[in-house]
Copies of this chain bind each other. A is one copy, B any other.
């Protein structure tokens, strides 16, 4: 794939990243990793924006990204990072080297939205959250702050008219007695109030409500989601189109996921896991046409942050013959997610600089269940993302030129 190299440098200001769930495993890993990359201790392995075909697109430098966030936990980032060291995920020396940067970020983490301890209306809560983001932007002199949802997966909300219509929603949010939005969507609402580009990295409802889409359009805010495509689902989106391209027919695709850590415990709740399973399977069924796709997620606490996924693919070939492909994937899940989170922040900063608004379907590359797109093939998503980034970079420069000129 040959893309015309638009060799500008980034001149659209400094960028903030605001993590919802800033003290969780993924955010901690991303924050620590960003510090390591920015200070030259680590290469940006796993960041797709750091390599061809995206590496000649002008994006915010790693060293110019500033991190803050919300969390309901008050375990300091440094402490959380120590747990990741204990688990064998992060080398001791790397933590020691970037501990001052972690402490600095920790000072920019504010108490997150907690439905259990709310006083006042959800509107008031969202405004307070938005004020945190705006304050962070102003204190650090940032051109924009990208909000990334990394909080625990929630059950999906029941359908309700307020989730469909922005005016109904606004009215309902003022009622201090009502819990209209799930926590993830309160945070998404706050991001919109703050005018912050938004990435939904979990399968929670978050921005994925018509009323919030309307608000994003009103405010001119770009967003992308949903549910980071990091491991097994990514692999499926690589393999399924290739099998199909060979003229072979998937008869069944069975999967098993083992994971521990906080994610394992969250997903042991059958309600929470449901949104995850639906999200994981949708693309696969689209790609293969098969509906025999049994999938399980098991909480195996002793695995810690390691996720092990086994897939058994049963395929029909020539003259009705049968073939099987099995895959076993084993990885630290946070290590897969963290670099993609940094990529999302860089690319949403670009989208924002180019004046985009609403869902960015070309970022489907990053997600299990892409908003605004039904493309699930990873190869096709890679191609589309590359083209989009180059085109949007030129557009951002044009916008800037318009601003700069009298």
Contacts and interface: CB of A to CB of B under 8 A. Distances in A.
A45 B327 contact: no
A94 B248 CA distance: 20
Contacts of A90: 319
Contacts of A332: 317, 321, 323
Contact of A46 (B91, B246, B294, B339): B246
Interface in A332-384: 332, 335-336, 338-339, 378-380, 382
A376 to B, nearest CB: 13
A299 B292 CA distance: 9
Number of copies: 4
Contacts of A89: 321
Interface string A285-306: 0000000101010111111000
Mostly, the A contact residues are: mixed
Contact of A327 (B245, B252, B301, B326): B326
A294 B298 contact: yes
Contact of A318 (B33, B252, B302): B33
Given A254-B256, A292-B301, A46 B308 contact: no
Interface string A235-255: 100110110011111011010
A258 B293 CA distance: 11
A29 interface: yes
Contacts of A134: none
Interface stretch (A47-55, A72-80, A272-280): A47-55
A116 interface: no
Interface residues of A, number: 73
Contacts of A258: 252, 254, 294, 312
A292 B296 contact: no
Contact of A302 (B44, B235, B292, B330): B292
B378 A339 contact: no
Contacts of A46: 246-248, 317-318
A62 interface: no
A241 B383 CA distance: 12
A315 to B, nearest CB: 8
A338 to B, nearest CB: 5
A328 interface: yes
Interface in A28-61: 29, 32-33, 36, 42, 44-48, 50-51
A69 to B, nearest CB: 19
B318 A312 contact: no
Contact of A88 (B32, B88, B301, B317): B88
23 contacts: A42-B320, A45-B247, A46-B246, A46-B317, A48-B246, A86-B91, A91-B320, A94-B319, A234-B242, A238-B238, A242-B378, A245-B382, A247-B339, A254-B298, A292-B301, A294-B296, A317-B332, A317-B336, A319-B335, A321-B332, A323-B335, A324-B328, A324-B330
